[in-house]
Structure 1
Amino acid sequence: MKTMQPKMASALVGALFAMAGLTAHAAGMQPESTVVLIQEADGEGSMVVTNTDAAPSLMYAKIEAVSDDPNPPVVLTPPVARVDPGKKQTVRFMLTNKEPLAVERYARVTFDGIPEQKNDGKNKVTLTVRQDLPIVIRPKALAEDKTPWTHLKWSLNGDTLTVANDSAYVVRMDQRVKLLPGDIEAAMPKSYVVPGSKVEIKLKDGAALKNAQQVQITPFSAYGYALEPYTVQLGNATVETTATN
């Protein structure tokens, strides 16, 4: 059986809506930034979310733990709020840790906007847009490091590429990585590596891997912007890294 292409699927959904007399309507909450940064020294952080819909909506905010950090020390308020069109809602993130943090912590937060339904007799299908952002919590006693990806240790064993993060920093990057020479492409299972964790990636092109000496990544800044590609030697925990133009 052939798999339906996304464009074809979208066209089919639109056609079905038209045949049924339905109006498709997209709505969403727009955060002011692409990441929530919380300083332990402040005890809390915040994010302003704007209702970009043309009607009042209910904003639902929820913190999602990741498997690498299952108990993030943070709660948010309010979890639900009514937001008028074009208006803003501030969501506060409060830390709950009792002891000082030793390493950066990581979680996700989702924002959903559900438009209020009007009983006007028209058939409507509301498509909500979910915003899913990272949360990074910075310890008070940890010095800021603007290039945390330099602490990552990369190694290649057969067809397995391994990256270990022995530092106290969360490292965020594009999931696409490349081995050099040979431009052998690989994909990280996620776009972050938390402190004390190790990620293994199974590779293809086994014969070409024998010549691989470096790995090239595209790190993200603290605010989620992609930076210049970065190249590091494989198989050495103390290698020097160099920026690639």
Structure 2
Amino acid sequence: MSNVLRYAMAGMLVMAGVFAARSEASVVIGGTRVIYPAREKEITVKLTNDSSRPALVQVWLDDGDERSTPDTAKVPFTVAPPIFRMEPGKGQAVRVMYTKEPLPTDKETLFWVNVLEVPPKADNSEGRNLLQFAFRTRIKLLFRPAGLPGDVTDAPDKLSWTWVPGEDGKGFALRVTNPTPYYVNFARVDVRVGDRDVGNHGGGMVAPGGTSTFPLKDVTTRPSGEVKASFGVITDYGAIKDLVKPLSP
């Protein structure tokens, strides 16, 4: 890896002084997640440079370690090209290939796609000192084995939700259990009380066969009457599907 990219891994490229800053990410990933069907020899991740300046881009995968680098990440995938220059207004298709190391065949496996963008040296025609940042974007890649039971679109309906005490017994939370072999990703998780949603407002996910707990930040006392789980599920295509489900006893 070049010295430029090593500095970029640290989070930014510094030019003398900090009187002005450029902080716009220009390289855009086409989608919010990537699905890799096990039967496919390869898939593509599409990138676009929406700025008026070229950018140096590096792409790699990791298995969940946010501190990973292309040198340290150990995943059963290769990408091509791993490093390239993107001209302004242009696109680039990055090929991702599974290298056939064994992965679970009875459930999805989660990986992450990293896109590191290193901007070119800024034009300092105004005589100002500049601070430039390198941007690292991570999106999920779900490796989906063939022949999994059920359908991914039905997985959210099979979740079960329960009311539980919050962390350290303080407050309240919703716990979701996922009996399916698919990851379910949430844009939000709340409770429906009457005709309004209160609670968490944040997102998250639940793994195949796993559980996740979502603290209800806005709930200080247990509501009376019927309480339901209200949540927004992010689909394979990045759309949000809103659902309301009764809580389990």
Identify the match of residue 117 of structure 1 among 101, 114, 121: 121
Correspondence 1:189-208 to 2 at 5 A: 190-203=203-216, 205=219, 207-208=221-222
Q: 1:231 to 1:168 in 2, by over 3 A?
A: same
Matches of 2:239 and 2:123, distance apart in 1: 43
Q: Percent identity among equivalent residues?
A: 20
Could you tell me which runs of 5 or more consecutive residues in structure 1 were left unpaired when the two chains were aligned: 1-15, 237-245
Correspondence 1:67-216 to 2 at 5 A: 73-96=76-99, 97-98=101-102, 101-117=105-121, 122=127, 123-142=129-148, 144-158=151-165, 159-181=172-194, 183=196, 185-187=198-200, 190-203=203-216, 205=219, 207-209=221-223, 211-216=225-230
Identify the match of residue 231 of structure 2 among 210, 213, 217: 217
Matches of 1:147 and 1:38, distance apart in 2: 19
What is the letter of the counterpart of residue 176 of structure 1?
A: V
Shift of 1:210: 5.0
Shift of 1:65: 2.8
Q: 1:209 to 1:75 in 2, by over 3 A?
A: farther
- Check if 1:31 corresponds to 2:17: no
1:8-37 per-residue CA deviation (whole Å, 9 max, x = no partner) reads xxxxxxxx96xx4x4636342112222211
Contact 1:180 1:215 in 2 (8 A): no
Matches of 2:114 and 2:248, distance apart in 1: 37
Contact 2:198 2:219 in 1 (8 A): no
Matches of 1:179 and 1:24, distance apart in 2: 42
In the superposition, the TM-score normalised over structure 1's length comes to 0.73
**Aligned with 1:61: secondary structure?**
strand
Matches of 2:214 and 2:160, distance apart in 1: 14
In the superposition, the TM-score normalised over structure 2's length comes to 0.72
Count of residues paired in the alignment: 215
| RMSD after superposition | 3.1
Q: 1:80 to 1:205 in 2, by over 3 A?
A: same
Shift of 1:182: 7.2
What is the letter of the counterpart of residue 91 of structure 1?
A: V
Contact 2:187 2:202 in 1 (8 A): no
Shift of 1:152: 1.0
**Aligned with 2:26: secondary structure?**
strand
